[in-house]
């Protein structure tokens, strides 16, 4: 069965320090992987995705994520955190084997709350 795990409910980091938000997945085939961010009282925003190609994906607001097939992980990273990065982050996965046109099968993690302290 497909699943996504975000093992940390909350991550705290000091402003200016690097941040990592973890995500691991389980799919039967190869994955498509996504990160979304939800700022307080706002809807989810797409950050970045891994489809194919380079394992290191760069996205919005200076975030990047590295696809690691052997560890089945797609951790979100940023070299220097900002207070404004404080938000709820969601990882999502889709199994490539499901084929085109099957949008709804995006499996979501439960989210990680990131708090960046000044």
* Whole-number Å distance between alpha carbons of 8 and 109: 11
Considering only 40, 54, 70, 104, the residue that binds another protein (CB under 8 A) is 104
Using CB under 8 A as the binding rule, whether residue 22 contacts another protein is answered as: no
* Whole-number Å distance between alpha carbons of 62 and 68: 20
Distance of CA 60 to the CA centre of its chain: 12
Using CB under 8 A as the binding rule, whether residue 118 contacts another protein is answered as: no
CA distances from residue 29 to 60, 67, 115 in whole angstroms, order as listed: 27, 14, 34
Using CB under 8 A as the binding rule, whether residue 45 contacts another protein is answered as: yes
Using CB under 8 A as the binding rule, whether residue 78 contacts another protein is answered as: no
Using CB under 8 A as the binding rule, whether residue 26 contacts another protein is answered as: no
Using CB under 8 A as the binding rule, whether residue 51 contacts another protein is answered as: yes
Considering only 46, 56, 61, 79, the residue that binds another protein (CB under 8 A) is 46
Using CB under 8 A as the binding rule, whether residue 94 contacts another protein is answered as: yes
Q: Give the CA dihedral 77, 58, 39, 79, nearest 10 degrees.
A: 30
- Is the CB of 52 or the CB of 70 nearer to another protein? 52
Count the neighbouring beta carbons within 10 Å of the beta carbon of residue 21: 27
Contacting positions for another protein (CB under 8 A):
32, 34, 36, 42-46, 49, 51-53, 90, 94, 96, 99-104, 106, 108-111
């Amino acid at each position: 069965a497909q699943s996504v795990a975000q093992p940390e409910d909350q991550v705290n980091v000091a402003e200016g320090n690097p941040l990592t938000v973890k995500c691991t997945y389980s799919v039967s085939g190869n994955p498509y992987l996504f990160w979304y961010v939800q700022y307080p009282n706002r809807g989810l925003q797409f950050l970045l995705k891994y489809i194919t190609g380079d394992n290191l994906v760069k996205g919005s607001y200076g975030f990047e994520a590295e696809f690691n097939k052997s560890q089945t992980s797609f951790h979100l990273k940023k070299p220097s955190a900002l207070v404004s990065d404080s938000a709820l982050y969601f990882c999502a996965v889709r199994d490539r084997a499901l084929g085109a046109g099957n949008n709804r099968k995006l499996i979501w993690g439960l989210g990680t709350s990131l708090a960046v302290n000044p």
